[in-house]
A and B are shown apart, each in its own frame.
Chain A
């Protein structure tokens, strides 16, 4: 059977990369004695698929994954067992059984982030936002396998709002393309903002709020009943 679950990762666990997160879950499943289905062959791999890789430095409350199990579990039981085997900083918050539908990786098309940052004194946040939104193109350099490439991220910034936290700290709430097809990491978005405003921006904190799929012409969060 397949279970889709949502989890979050707090501040204390955000300093590990995607591969470490995967290994963390594999070991947690073993400790919880929840039998994950393994691939056949010489080097069996557990069938766990994460909706979107988690970069180092990112906290989140909207992560999702699918896992294939050898036995039947009630979602409630699944959540409780798995949480008892997870270290502080990761928590499973929701789960449901899914029939063989679309692969979770293929569903994700966008991600919402909250980015806290420090702004150069003479800029104001509303000005910065309109500066970004009024652009037709925002060209940034993106690292690829064969060096660096120019890349227009403007069409991949779907929504942008922001405000002041108090003091010299500000925040963006931004919906960016995410997934297998197009992906803009929050750092790359900030680089784009820097190009638009000709300033240096210091990132203080990056937090993923939610992953999104599409329903017709609407963005639909993955915790919507359609997905979870």
Chain B
């Protein structure tokens, strides 16, 4: 059965091209001629999903196999969902318009916690039972991966199995196992048993969680012999050898990132203590400049894009940045292509680079000091000093920029009123630096935007034990800062995040299996697209917690003991708990940890025998 969409539907929804497919480079196969049909689901709207590099990579890797057809599925926007429900149109894939229910494997990528209700909503729209245990012979297997899968527990009841870590290799092993299982004709559980043997695969129904009287966890144990006690994440050892898509799908309508995304390296040498990505993608593995240039050239030719953006957690840390960008600039200039350079530290070299790359489009510069005082920046191990920041700001203003954004977090561990006031001081400093530059040398019309997000403690970071500030505390801090900033200068704009969203993020980032019930209830109460302001229904969420008798503060605001069994303790992301604890202790003392290139601090990721861990000498503490 193919879904037919006509004018009556498409002319009545916003951006109908979200649902029509047919973009340049879309993979076309005959579903009759493949063994495995894979529905790659992104639990957000088309424009967000199509901006995601991980999805592009796996789409490509899967479709390279002639026995597999991977298609894309996005969450329909509310207007489309309404029509689909009224007319009984099930969730369908963009490539063939076939219902998702008819696929063999339905895979979700979990990029942020606030997309979880969309996962449930998409399963429901597809007509697939939400609970894994209710799925039978004729249902697809529902799998999930992505950064949020490092604590899979809140979704444990809904997902047949999770993929922990990077997907390019393990997904192929899963497809092989699936084909073998399909030919064997055995039952559903048998496939799960086969999958559980693949390193990096976590089957939640094969683990039993027990609880103490105080609601903490007393144990997480496999229920069968032969199931691993701990599931270790998968990583790609050699970034030069792994497949990277050059012929990516080029959307017709504008998307969030509508450009070529050239991935330079994975991981980060820095170890900022709040940053989950910095720990779960360890160790740093770079692509060599030659490979990057080849991929850049191929992508330009195969997509026709007018912009290329470098992707990494910290562009400045790429080991041959100067030589590489020089070569890349030659390529882009000749073809009239914009080069965008995010995550760059601002110094004279990079200003020069940005001017060359963007042909002096002085749109705005972003700085992320994260905390307002040097003391707190040391606590979080953000390796920049007051002086670095002053220099960067001065260079930026002298270079003709007049629009800067400063990003901070509130609610970081050990934070005091002084640290919040420090944010205002820093903003003031920015304004002063600008006015100290002679009038004729600076651009007119200063604009300093201060943004604060609310700190969310995340698994596999040194702050994973830390109790988040309450919504009221956040609110007080935001108002205190707002007041301070309003007295500094009219050139400053202050934006802050909704603390209630961050509170829920913390619950689901650090939740255990029991919060899955709340998720289901909240979805039934009408929650979806929670990451979108216009859809976020805090009251419906609070009602769901109440109805399920679950206290969100237990997960978000409680500081946990080092000894407590964490909901993700059976997941092994490489970094050891010992190391994280050591980092946490150092944080409280304000002691900074050098980056991997200066000295290896024995985080545990050396077990993968890849990337930077092979080249730096093991220093000081070993795990």
Contact = CB atoms under 8 A, between A and B. Distances in A.
Interface of A: 12-13, 15-16, 20, 23-24, 26-31, 33, 38, 42-44, 56-57, 85, 87-89, 203-205
Nearest to B13: A15
Contacts of B22: 12-13, 87-89
B488 interface: no
A28 B304 contact: yes
Contacts of B303: 27, 31
B252 A29 contact: no
B94 to A, nearest CB: 12
Contacts of A23: 252
A16 B306 CA distance: 19
Interface range on chain B: under 10, 10 to 19, 20 to 34, or 35 or more?
Answer: 20 to 34
B252 A204 contact: no
A30 B359 contact: no
Given A27-B306, A57-B7, A42 B24 contact: no
Nearest to B302: A31
B487 interface: no
15 contacts: A13-B22, A15-B16, A15-B17, A15-B20, A16-B17, A20-B252, A27-B24, A27-B250, A30-B335, A31-B302, A31-B304, A33-B301, A56-B16, A57-B7, A203-B7
A29 B304 contact: yes
A94 B301 CA distance: 25
Given A56-B16, A87-B23, A204-B7, A42 B305 contact: no
B11 A20 contact: no
Interface in B336-374: 336, 359-361
Contacts of A42: 359-361
B217 interface: no
B17 A30 contact: no
Interface string B493-518: 00000000000000000000000000
Contacts of A15: 10, 16-17, 20
Given A27-B303, A31-B303, A87-B23, A38 B336 contact: yes
Contact of A31 (B16, B252, B301, B360): B301
Contact of B253 (A16, A26, A43, A57): A16
B24 A43 contact: no
Given A30-B306, A44-B336, 18 more contacts: A12-B22, A13-B22, A15-B16, A20-B17, A24-B252, A26-B304, A27-B24, A27-B250, A27-B304, A28-B304, A30-B305, A31-B304, A42-B359, A57-B10, A87-B22, A87-B23, A87-B252, A88-B22
Interface string B1-38: 00000010011000011001011100000000000000
A43 B305 contact: no
B45 to A, nearest CB: 16
Contacts of B301: 31, 33
Contacts of A29: 304
5 nearest CB pairs, A to B: A27-B304, A30-B304, A31-B304, A15-B16, A16-B252
Contacts of A85: 304
Interface string B509-543: 00000000000000000000000000000000000
Contacts of A203: 7
Contacts of A57: 7, 10-11
Interface string B237-254: 000000000000010111
Contacts of A27: 24, 250, 303-306
A203 B24 CA distance: 29
Contacts of A30: 300, 304-306, 335
Interface string B298-337: 0011111110000000000000000000000000000110
A205 B6 CA distance: 10
Contacts of B305: 27, 30
Of residues A12, A31, A38, A43, which shows the largest number of chain B Cβ atoms within 10 Å of its Cβ?
A31
Given A12-B20, A12-B22, A16-B17, A205 B7 contact: yes
Contacts of A26: 304, 306
Nearest to A31: B304
Of residues B17, B303, B360, which shows the largest number of chain A Cβ atoms within 10 Å of its Cβ?
B17
A87 B335 CA distance: 22
A14 to B, nearest CB: 9
Contacts of B7: 57, 203-205
Contacts of B359: 42-44
Nearest to A56: B16
A2 to B, nearest CB: 19
Given A15-B20, A44-B336, A20 B253 contact: yes
Nearest to A206: B7
A43 B358 CA distance: 9
Contacts of B306: 26-27, 30
A42 B356 CA distance: 11
B336 A13 contact: no
Contacts of A33: 301
A95 B17 CA distance: 28
Nearest to B22: A12
A42 to B, nearest CB: 6
Contacts of A43: 359, 361
Contact of B24 (A56, A87, A204): A87
Nearest to B19: A15
Nearest to A89: B22
Nearest to A86: B24
Nearest to B337: A30
Nearest to B10: A15
Nearest to B301: A31
Nearest to B23: A87
Contacts of A87: 22-24, 252
B315 to A, nearest CB: 23
Interface string B542-567: 00000000000000000000000000
B13 to A, nearest CB: 9
Contacts of B304: 26-31, 85
A196 B17 CA distance: 34
A207 to B, nearest CB: 11
Nearest to B26: A87
